[in-house]
Structure 1
Amino acid sequence: MTIKVGINGFGRIGRLAFRAAFDWDDIEFIQINDPAGNADTLAHLLNFDSVQGTWQHSASADGDDIIIDNTRLICTQNKTIAETDWSACDVVIEASGKMKSQSVLQAYLDQGVKRVVVTAPVKEEGVLNVVMGVNDYRYD
């Protein structure tokens, strides 16, 4: 079963997560949201990374979408979770660094997203912050 993934926040961490998982057979990226960059800018940043080097794939912009090896990704520039339709995503990688409270993140779940992976610590009671190799055994 393919997991449909969206990313909110396509800065350093969002792009690295995308590049790392793009070729995985069980992952299909379908959407990127970043209020600071249009599709053309985000495609360029994917192709050319000052630390990781040139990407093995070819990303380009087609209007508001990003095309990578004939795969089309929806690209939006919204500032809030609710402004973006995440309903087609099974998982959203929340990499904006800004959405770090249960009440704000609930907007993803309200749209039908099954899981949200937050790339920054959520400092609230009852939230499991997982660090792979340290406490990942606690996540079921």
Structure 2
Amino acid sequence: MTVRVGINGFGRIGRNFFRAVAASGADIEIVAVNDLTDNKTLAQLLKYDSILGRFPGEVTYDEKALYVDGKEIKAFEERDPANLPWGELGVDI
């Protein structure tokens, strides 16, 4: 069974978690991220990391989501995590 995850905060720790999941091959799906930074910057920071280097997959974005290797990851800019639609997205963790 795939575990569906939402990441609240896509700073260094959130991006490192994302990279770890992507590299692990585990049955984990990142369905959404929440961060106050715009999607263009989030995509750039995920793709190019000064410590971990370049992310091996394709990273693109639009106003509503990030796309990693063609898979949509909803992106939110919500200050209060209680207002995030985790339930509607089927987030487990």
User: TM-score, length-normalised on structure 1?
Assistant: 0.62
Cα distance, 1:62 vs. partner? 1.9
Cα distance, 1:64 vs. partner? 1.7
Q: Which runs of 5+ in 1 are unaligned?
A: 92-140
Asked if residue 50 in structure 1 is aligned to residue 55 in structure 2, the reply is no
Indicate the residue corresponding to 1:18 in structure 2. 18
Q: What RMSD over aligned residues (CA atoms) do the two structures have, in Å?
A: 1.0
Greater RCO, 1 or 2 (C-alpha within 8 Å, sep 6+): 2
Larger Cα-atom Rg: 1
Indicate the residue corresponding to 2:38 in structure 1. 38
Indicate the residue corresponding to 2:91 in structure 1. 89
Provide, for residues 2-59 of structure 1, a one-character-per-residue CA deviation record: whole Å limited to 9, x for no partner: 0001100000111001101124240000000012x11111111000000101110111
Asked if residue 59 in structure 1 is aligned to residue 64 in structure 2, the reply is no
Which one has a larger percent strand, Structure 1 or Structure 2?
Answer: 2
In the TM superposition, structure 1's runs of 4+ consecutive aligned residues that sit over 2 Å from their partners are none
The AA in structure 1 aligned to 2:34 is N
Separation (CA, whole Å) in 2 of partners of 1:50 and 1:41: 14
Kindly tell me the number of residue pairs found equivalent between the two proteins.
90
